[in-house]
Amino acid sequence: MYNKLLTNVHLLFYAAAVVRISTASTVLTGNATSTFQATITECLNVRGQVITNRKFELQCCQLFSNRYKLYWFREGNYLTEALETLKTWRCPEFEEDCTQRIYGFTEFTQRVYDRACNRTLFESACLPTVFRVLSDAGVNVTDQNWRHALRNVQLEMHALQYPCIQVALYDAVSAARQSSYGFYHETVHLHTPFCHFVWVGFDAETTVQHSIFPWLFLRTDKSRTSQDVYKASIAMADLIVG
Ligand SMILES: *[C@@H]1O[C@H](CO)[C@@H](O)[C@H](O)[C@H]1NC(C)=O
Ligand SMILES: *[C@@H]1O[C@H](CO)[C@@H](O)[C@H](O)[C@H]1NC(C)=O
Ligand SMILES: *[C@@H]1O[C@H](CO)[C@@H](O)[C@H](O)[C@H]1NC(C)=O
Domain range list for the chain: 1-103, 104-242
Degrees (nearest 5) of the Cα angle 48, 52, 55? 105
pLDDT score of 208: 59
* 37 pLDDT tier (thresholds 50, 70, 90): confident
Pocket test for ligand 2, best of 97, 119, 120 (most atoms within 8 A of CB): 120
Ligand 1 close to Cβ of residue 52 (< 6 A): no
118 lines ligand 2 (CB under 6 A): yes
pLDDT at 25: 52
Q: Residue 21: what are its φ and ψ, rounded to 5°?
A: -70, 135
Q: Is 121 close to ligand 2, i.e. is its CB under 6 Å away? A: yes
From the CB of 44, is ligand 2 less than 6 Å away? no
- Residues counted in the chain: 242
Sorting pLDDT into bands at 50, 70 and 90, what band is 34?
low
121-125, 167-171, 199-203: range with lowest mean pLDDT: 199-203
> Using CA atoms, how far apart are residues 225 and 231, in angstroms rounded to an integer?
10
Q: Whose CA is nearest to atom 13 of ligand 2?
A: 118
The pLDDT value recorded for residue 41 is: 87
| Confidence at 133, pLDDT banded by 50, 70, 90 | very high
Q: Is residue 33 lining ligand 1, measured as CB closer than 6 Å?
A: no
Q: If DSSP codes are grouped into helix, strand and coil, which group holds residue 42?
A: helix
- Mean of the pLDDT values across residues 204-231? 47
Q: Is the pLDDT of residue 210 over 60?
A: no
Who contacts 209 (Cβ-Cβ below 8 Å, separation ≥6)? 154
Closest residue to atom 2 of ligand 2, CA basis: 121
Please check whether residue 201 is in contact with residue 108, taking contact to mean a CB–CB distance below 8 angstroms: yes
Q: Which of 14, 12, 13, 20 is nearest to 37 (CA)?
A: 20
List residues bridging with 203 in a β-sheet: 184
Exposure b/e, 60-88, CB count within 10 A at least 16 = b:
bbebbbbbbbbebeeeebbbbbbbbbbeb
pLDDT of residue 160: 83
Determine if the pTM surpasses 0.75.
no
Closest Cα to residue 201, out of 240, 168, 228, 235?
168
For atom 14 of ligand 2, the residue with the nearest CA is 118
Q: What is the mean pLDDT of the chain?
A: 72
Q: To test the ligand 1 pocket, which listed residue (31, 34, 36, 51) has its Cβ within 8 A of the most ligand atoms?
A: 31
Supply the residue whose CA is at minimum distance from atom 13 of ligand 1. Answer: 31
pLDDT at 179 (0 to 100) = 62
Query: Which helix (H) or strand (E) segment is 230 a member of?
Result: helix 226-241
Whether residue 117 has its Cβ less than 6 Å from ligand 2: no
Residue 149 three-state SS: helix
